[in-house]
Amino acid sequence: MSGRDPVQVRGLVDVLLTIGRQQGTGVLTIQNEDETVGITFKSGEIVSADSLNQSEAEGLGQLLTEKGLVLQSELDELTARHDEGGGRIVDLLVDRHLLERDQLLEILRLRFFDLSKQVLTWSSGEFRFYRVEEVAFEKGVRPLSVEELLIRAAEELGPAGPLPGRVPTPQSIFSRVEGAEDSQAAPQGLPFEMELEEGSEILDMLHWLNGDRSAAEVSIESGIPQHRVLFDLFVLQQAGRALAVDHDTAEYLTTTSPWLVGLEGGESKSSKISQVTGRAGEWWHSHLDRLQEGEERWRSWPHRALGAGLIVALVAVVMIDPGRFLLPFPWQGGLRQALLDEQTSAAYLKVDRAAKTWFLLEGQFPEQLSELGANGYLVASDRVDPAGRPLGYAAQIASYLVYPLGEGDPAPGSSRTEPITGDFLLDPEFITPPTAPITPLVLLE
């Protein structure tokens, strides 16, 4: 594809598929008598497209006004700003808050889809592919696979599209044709150059076709993108390796593709295949597939249960003893104790602030710690130390004692006494009036 080749000699579909399957990076230019379009590929997927007959501002503006996203007056203002060197039209749309960034990326994707779809309708022209290492495109835009382009173009263009005949939909259900692997599909059975060799990805799709799964279900279970599944089903149907099935009646549907009807004995071949692969065979293969799927799910349950148990244990350790989780090694015992001391000091500080606030308002400490909770000074978690032990409390005239309960005598350093001595808000000595008389000061004019 390094040289210039006429489109009518080798179909454009072949060119696109070759670039896609080889994961090519570069620019494909397609030219007819009136227009030239350049399609940019990144690793086999379309990331941009431009027309030499129309600037990006013109093409993008036309699309935005057609969709009703931007008014013509707003577009004219942006175009004038762009022509004066005020920046790219795509940046101006976002900066002026006419479009969100995500909306802009989808509009750009729609634009290069429309241009790519347009060249698929050309009856003649020339193409050339320039392979490079890097290409320029808008960052964040969703790439367009060749399979998605062909399927969507076939749906929108109908008989004038790139894929003749019936195009599968996500709801389509297909069944593989038993015995067809012993015979090679005729080359004229496909509208493009596509060899079906054993081990190819397209033939691997036959594993998922049992007359019961829809194309959307095949995509979910296999992990293959939906448009890739639809395209592979189209190829297999055209090659006579798969048949569409009406799920309600479990009968095969005849294809309307002119590529198969034109084959010698094509219709009778489909009829014979339908007779050979009956409902009993389809039910049996479907039943075997369900058994295999059930067995795989059953084997995966122990691993899932083990994973769930590990997660639960991890959460429990974090909630019960966060220090053990953060510092798990034996030689980190000192660090764990230091962390516990800091957490304990923070817990006691909450109690101290609540108790002294009570003293400031009531003139004495509360008799019980629960009084602080009942009046909203403390919540339930504040009356428990970091080790999970409830806090004991004893009030005195000018101080109080707080300590952990549940383990007999408190460990050294685990209890704390807080007096009001030295606190200018609470200590009466700071507000006791002086006993000596004060000589008044008289000012004379």
Q: How far apart are CA 243 and CA 260, in angstroms?
A: 12
The one-letter amino acid code at 399 reads S
The C-alpha torsion from 34 through 35 and 36 to 38, rounded to 10°, is: -160
Q: Is the CB of residue 286 less than 8 Å from the CB of residue 270?
A: no
Measured CA to CA, the distance from residue 197 to residue 204 in angstroms comes to 10
Cβ contacts of 385 within 8 Å, gap of 6 or more: 344, 347, 391, 404
Report the DSSP beta bridge partners of residue 50.
38
Distance (Å, rounded) from C-alpha 400 to C-alpha 382?
A: 17
In Å, how far are 153, 370, 390, 399, 403 from 366, measured between CA atoms? 79, 9, 17, 11, 16
Q: What is the mean pLDDT of each run of 10 residues along the chain (445 residues)?
A: 43 87 92 90 93 82 84 83 76 84 89 91 86 90 92 88 84 82 49 61 82 88 89 86 67 39 37 42 54 59 74 68 62 71 82 83 82 80 79 81 69 68 68 64 72
CA geometry: angle at 240 spanning 236 and 242, to 5°?
55
Euclidean distance between CA atoms 405 and 388, whole angstroms: 10
Pairing verdict, β 173-176 and 126-131? unpaired
Return the amino acid letter for 33: E
Domains of the chain, start order: 5-160 (no CATH), 173-277 (no CATH), 333-430 (3.30.700)
Q: Contact, 389 vs 343, CB < 8 A?
A: no
Give the residue among 366, 347, 353 at the shortest CA–CA distance from 404.
347
243 CB-contact burial (10 Å; exposed 0-12 / middle 13-18 / buried 19+): buried
Is residue 366 within 8 A of residue 358, CB to CB? The reply is yes
3-state SS class at 308: helix
Please give the Cα distance from 183 to 181 (Å, whole number). 5
The reply to whether the predicted model has a pTM over 0.75 is no
| Distance of alpha carbon 173 from alpha carbon 215, whole angstroms | 6
Would you state the structure tokens that stand for residue 16, as one six-digit string?
A: 């696109």
E strand spans, 349-390 = none
Could you identify the residue written with the tokens 């094509």? 266
